A = this chain, B = another copy of it.
Amino acid sequence: MVRAIEWIDDRVRILDQSRLPHEVSYIDCSHHGMVVDAIKTLKIRGAPAIGIAAAMGIALSARGLKADSFEGFMDALQPVMDEMLSSRPTAVNIRWAVERMKGLLQRNRERPVEELKGLLIEEAKAVLEEDIEVNKAIGLWGAQFIRDGDTVLTHCNAGALATGGYGTATAPILMAVEQGKEVRVIADETRPVLQGARLTAWELMQAGVPVTLITDNSAGALMRSGEIDLCIVGTDRTARNGDVANKIGTYSVAVLARENDVPFYVAAPLSSIDFTIPSGELIPIEERPPEEVTHLGGHPVAPEGVMVINRAFDVTPARYVTAIITERGAFRPRDIKRLARKGVNLTELRVKP
């Protein structure tokens, strides 16, 4: 399986996704500035993956810091954390990673500085390992819904490349394959940025999973002709009521799936469920530059000056979602809000295949 990021020999090795699928090259970051640059220039992307990168970047910078006291150490580390935060200002996972590293240090403030440096490295590695564990759990819960011989449609890239490993939407597929099931994947190319063509198709080919690329326009016709058995997509943010914000076009896939009685699953780590937001209507939708639509590889494909609407995400209402697959099980969207409470009987709540 492809690894987007690893800690190897006191360096942070990042797979340069901006060159995929044409060139597989790695950046061995010896300085946190290289990690910041990789995040900024989208060499590494995907919410979990950039969270891991931020944690590793902080650990990397700490190694070289000279400080006599906890306060001096924190003062020296603060600009690094600020740099991480500003690399992708809206990334929730970077903020989360920075807070986690800070919390670790505060809890261990009595220890010598040299020991703290080691703790940061261990914590950064743990962030990666925990992400992989979460995805494997999503994979196991999700694999139940994939039968031997099934064809799975996915949209955009919620794959290993977006995470520490296994991906979210791809984890059930990889787990089903590990269980010996024969699984084929249909990957939407996912305009405008073509993450499906460039990343999902590539990483599944690397993993030896048979994958067929289609234009986003083709998904509906393939569902109607019975060529797709189920859909699994990722999510950027899921609201308390089970409404799912994800890459533009996800809503269309969901509607077409329901129209054709094709189950539609969302792979969502609990960290991506925002229990503070009551409904998907309240999730702000980012408008991206028109050039993503009007230009391809730097070349114009549309008339100069044409107006463009280019929203990054759409919201799929909960009623189109068969189940939301988390690391604690698969649940009906309307039951997601109950996961925030204590003492819930998860076994009863789980959706069975």
Within 8 A of B (CB), among A276-300: 293-294, 296-297, 299-300
In this assembly, does A118 line the interface, its C-beta being within 8 Å of a C-beta of chain B? no
Task: From B21, B186, B297, give the contact of A296 (CB < 8 A).
Answer: B297
Interchain CB contact under 8 A, A309 and B220: no
Q: Mark A235-250, 1 if CB is under 8 A from B, else 0.
A: 0000000000001110
A225 to chain B, nearest CB (A): 9
Interchain CB contact under 8 A, A211 and B311: no
Copies assembled = 2
> Assuming the A-B contacts A205-B303, A255-B256, are A248 and B213 also in contact, with contact meaning beta carbons closer than 8 angstroms in the complex?
no
In this assembly, does A18 line the interface, its C-beta being within 8 Å of a C-beta of chain B? no
For A293, the chain B residues whose CB sits under 8 A away are 189, 197, 213-215
For A303, the chain B residues whose CB sits under 8 A away are 21, 198, 201-202, 205
Interchain CB contact under 8 A, A192 and B215: yes
In this assembly, does A42 line the interface, its C-beta being within 8 Å of a C-beta of chain B? no
Interface residues of A (CB under 8 A from B): 21-22, 186, 189-192, 194, 197-198, 201-202, 205, 210-222, 224, 247-249, 251-252, 255-256, 259, 293-294, 296-297, 299-311, 314-315
Interchain CB contact under 8 A, B220 and A251: yes
For A215, the chain B residues whose CB sits under 8 A away are 191-192, 216, 248-249, 293, 310
For A249, the chain B residues whose CB sits under 8 A away are 215-218, 220
For A191, the chain B residues whose CB sits under 8 A away are 189, 191, 215-217
For A251, the chain B residues whose CB sits under 8 A away are 220-221, 224
Interchain CB contact under 8 A, A219 and B301: no
- 11 intermolecular pairs with C-beta atoms under 8 Å apart: A191-B191, A191-B216, A202-B303, A212-B306, A216-B249, A218-B311, A221-B311, A252-B252, A255-B255, A259-B259, A296-B299
For A247, the chain B residues whose CB sits under 8 A away are 217
For A222, the chain B residues whose CB sits under 8 A away are 309
- Give Cα distance in the complex from A210 to B309, angstroms: 13
A135 to chain B, nearest CB (A): 22
Which B residue's beta carbon lies closest to that of A210?
B307
Minimum-distance CB pairs A-B, first 5: A217-B249, A220-B252, A221-B314, A21-B303, A197-B302
For A217, the chain B residues whose CB sits under 8 A away are 190-192, 216, 247-249, 252
- Give Cα distance in the complex from A201 to B304, angstroms: 10
Interchain CB contact under 8 A, A308 and B221: no
> Assuming the A-B contacts A191-B216, A220-B255, A224-B251, are A297 and B294 also in contact, with contact meaning beta carbons closer than 8 angstroms in the complex?
no
For A198, the chain B residues whose CB sits under 8 A away are 301-303
